[in-house]
Amino acid sequence: MLATKRELYDVVRRLARLVGRRGVAAHDYVVITAADGVASLMATDGRSWLMATISCEGSLRACLPLHDLREFTKPSDAADGASLVELMAAPGQRAVVAAECMMITLESRPFESVPLRPDMTVGRQGGDWEPSSLRTALRWVARAVCTDAGRPHLCGVYFGDDAIVATDGHRMHVAELPGLPGGVFLRTSDVSLLVESLKGSGEVAAVKNEGWVHFESDCFRLTCPVVDETFPPYRLVIPAPADQTSMVEFERAAMLRTLKRLPGGGADVRINGAWEFYVGGIQAAVATHGHTGPDIALRVDLTYLRDALASGARVAKAAFTDPLAPITVRPDDNLLAVVMPQRS
């Protein structure tokens, strides 16, 4: 089997991220099947399965040490990445991996030693996504994921019927996209693998089976377990538009530039025709495109506001009720962030 070193390495590196999460030696292998111009590479950590495909020449069936293959195929520079690497079966359950002026012989284990992924031939069809839109939404939503292991019901991303959501209890990001029927909660690490796999892929579909979700496109398949935790009823914390008395529109890029210059953490904010920020002895202002309703003063974590605006359209919107009520920020038509103010 002949493949471009960079293409092979990128897939092997992604698979190593999955296996490396648990550090179990028995799972440190990649199953490679190459034929008819396509090579499929599959790995598992015993809980999730990821398969990716690359173009190739020739054929091969082998089960090779994943991290050894990753280290050997790592390109030294762009020219090295464009070179070819050859994988060949060798006597005695071994395989030879050869690149320019280099060669390594690796153990090739029986395919049966790698756990099979769950059967996903039967299940409920889920979302059908355009990959770049899904990738952008997931990267934005993941900014609000809880990292406190003591709150496992928040340490992941929730795929609802018509939205993808994450919250850490202080802010919440909601991407209004097709989700999965009945709702499922997935580990952050599996969502990260999905985000990385979406780069360059075609349209993505999903199948939900009992306890499992399977994502598939033209160049990858990811099967991961549903987390057995109850995600909170997130819609209850979204303020009703009729209750929000102050609304403002502004240039998202201009706001981000200002927020990146200010320290993270709590700041006093006033909206009175413009955004005014007061952080210690620092003052900053951002012009608005329009402000309706009464002026408002509150305290907010600027990191949360910056994350809410990390992706979106040219003009963003924010709405307020009172200094202690949740703030809603819309960086784009299908993205909604809810940020809790801080007490002064």
pLDDT digits (tens, 9 = 90+) for 40-97: 999 998 889 999 999 999 999 999 999 999 999 999 999 999 999 999 999 999 999 9
State the pLDDT at residue 24: 54
Higher-pLDDT residue of 39, 122: 39
3-state secondary structure of 292: strand
Residue 114 confidence class, pLDDT cut points 50, 70, 90: confident
pTM, whole model, 2 decimals?
A: 0.89
Mean pLDDT, residues 225-231: 94
Q: Is the per-residue pLDDT at 115 higher than 80? A: no
Residue 189 confidence class, pLDDT cut points 50, 70, 90: very high
State the Cα angle at 271 between 265 and 275, rounded to 5°: 65
State the pLDDT at residue 42: 94
State the pLDDT at residue 124: 55
Strand partners, 102: 99
Q: CA-to-CA distance for 221 and 41, rounded, in angstroms?
A: 10
To which H or E segment does residue 206 belong? Answer: strand 204-209
Interhelix angle for 5-20 vs 188-198, to 10°?
170
